[in-house]
Structure 1
């Protein structure tokens, strides 16, 4: 058997207050049969402490206060019985599903008109039925309305939680897809670096006897490419994913192709102002990721931005590569699914960089990414 938890303070307060009120009122009015009346009121009140747990039982038993005329006091002499019945009616409407408490409310009506009909030998008039029915059924109707509102609120809350969970699933899938894409690109970079090392090492082997100085220079280039390849391998180990795509021997994109990328967006109707200085000679993985970041920023500007010029600046500082893309925002702001920014965030995180994005306060949207440069470039 499950252990029953004790009633809460809010479950205790109202019934105990009604019992105390009934006692004070009975002692003040002193009707005939005052003692039984107080006992009946307290019995009904104490039962309502469990109105959330055993609603139908205690709600029905609370109607015993309507039988007070059988033990002495008339219902019109006391007010507290009506308050007890109102709490019972509200509980029947609030805590019972559907309209299962309605028969109990009909039973309350019968209890109200039973003693007068028996004593006077006449049936109540239609005006009496309407008046008493309104008084008894109003709390019940309020309880039903509150329950319907709470049920709807619970359904909306559950749906909102489901939507949040679904959105998180989509975001996680986008992160996984973007990491897989980055992994494939880093595969390309790594394969290109290793291929270059093999070719340069073979050339150094041929030059070691005929031109030692040139062979030493080639070996230094092999060492530099090898260090870059090790750095890319470290990043790749955190991102590697299974893929059925064939790996190429050289990456197909980089900042050298940035003017070509910008021209493509201009043909699509986007006004782009590209800063003339474009850093070249970056490590392949960094170069490719910088290109992809600018590509995603221009895509967002085309889809969600307003008419106006998009400013694109890529500059290499003493320790980091700065990428700034600023565009006018549309009437609703730069809003979308946010999955593109998830990809940009992943690319920046791979290189230990920083990303800032959002409205600037003057009707524009700024994406600013900072990617640390390797020691060899500083």
Structure 2
């Protein structure tokens, strides 16, 4: 709409309509309404059209220079008053004052308010003195109608526009914040899916790679060794595909991911250990308190950490690994310990450790892992009471 009808056209229309309205009032006898006669005798009444035209021209400055327009309008009003005063010029001046309060600088409407009130009081006093009667106060009322009333109207409109502008800015900020939160949620969801994908795929692929490397490294592998390795590779592949389908199913369901029956937990710890032993990792398991019912988030995170810790013990360590899973009233403690592999520094990408630390941090827990005194050690502590109180 603004492109179709520019603001300058609106100002031009207001100026022309004001001037034409003043001409109509002039033709109807609305001139020399205040003093009744000109201070200069012999001046023709059509001279009043000059301040009328100037006042109408001030409307063209309502947006670009409202202060200048009001100053010119004051001069035109003063000249009109000295010539006897016309109704049309006074009415157009109210528009000029209104525009100055709406479009001018903040100090301008304050100056208008103070000046118009002072002028009204002064005019009332002058009217009483000049008339010698209290009825002379009507002169102050006329000044109030011409100056104070449009000033108050302009201030109200300006405050309304300022409030609307503030609300619009707040709405834009809220929209930007909502967009940022959506992007952050998408990024968090991608990170979570990447972590789940790593936990599901990397463990099984690591087992496949180890068995394949063992067969290829053998100088003259026997058919029994090849068959055993192929069986382990097949078992790891089938297990990985099953877990992949389960993860995809959970991602497709709405609200189904919080069902304990569909999410693995410490109840499957024997199967994890059996799988690790079948893959060739000797595991010495020690457990306590596994009969306790854990929050779903803690149970799921503990399962993932145990699984990834066994994979890391396989990658970074050698020989038998001691796995300790202890559940008490305050926390779930997971510890692994085995001898450090000589070439462990160049093994793995580190995503598994990052994922485990993120899981522990989400539950306000801690996780440390690394080489220590020639051994590979991992220790994770997941609080239980905090998650129970939070309803997780």
Q: Is the 8 A contact 1:204 1:215 kept in 2?
A: no
**What are the ranges of 5 or more consecutive residues in structure 2 without an aligned counterpart?**
1-5, 32-42, 263-392
Report the CA distance between 1:66 and its aligned residue: 4.7
Among 175, 195, 209, the alignment partner of 2:186 is 175
The answer to whether the Cα contact below 8 Å between 1:105 and 1:136 also exists between their aligned partners in 2 is yes
CA distance in 1: counterparts of 2:73 and 2:115, whole angstroms: 10
Aligned to 1:151: 162
Residues 65-104 of structure 1 mapped to structure 2, 5 A cutoff: 65-71=77-83, 74-75=84-85, 78-96=86-104, 97=106, 99-104=110-115
After TM superposition, the structure 1 stretch with the greater mean CA deviation from structure 2, 7-16 or 206-215, is 206-215
Rounded Cα–Cα distance in structure 2 between residues aligned with 1:217 and 1:156: 68
Counterpart-to-counterpart distance in 2, 1:61 and 1:111 = 22
1:203–1:215 Cα contact (<8 Å) kept = no
Mapping for residues 143-292 of structure 1, pairs under 5 Å = 143-198=154-209, 200-201=211-212, 210=223, 218=231, 221=234, 225=237, 282=242, 284-292=243-251
Q: Which residue of 1 aligns with 2:72?
A: 61
Please tell me whether the aligned partners of residues 47 and 58 of structure 1 are also in contact (alpha carbons under 8 angstroms). Answer: yes
Check whether the contact 2:120–2:143 (CA below 8 A) recurs between aligned residues.
Answer: yes
- Distance across 2 between alignment mates of 1:111 and 1:82: 18
TM-score, with length taken from structure 2: 0.49
The CA deviation at 1:286 is: 4.0
SS at match of 1:52: coil
Matched, 1:29 2:29: yes
SS of aligned partner of 1:100:
helix
How many angstroms apart in 2 are the aligned matches of 1:102 and 1:199? Answer: 87
Please, what is the CA RMSD of the aligned residues?
4.3
Contact 1:89 1:140 in 2 (8 A): yes
CA distance in 1, matches of 2:18, 2:126: 24
Distance 1:136 1:70 in 2: 18
CA contact (8 A) 1:117 1:124 kept: yes
CA shift digits 1:170-189 (9 cap, x unpaired): 22222212211211222222
Pairing 1:17–2:17 present: yes
Once the 2 structures are TM-superposed, how far is the Cα of residue 12 of structure 1 from its aligned partner?
Answer: 1.3
After superposition, give the CA deviation of every residue in 1:166-206 in whole Å (9 maximum; x if it has no partner).
22222222221221121122222232232232355368779
- Distance across 1 between alignment mates of 2:111 and 2:244: 69
TM-score, normalised relative to structure 1 = 0.50
- The CA distance in 1 between the partners of 2:121 and 2:7, in whole Å, is 31
- Cα pair distance change 1:128/1:69, threshold 3 Å: closer
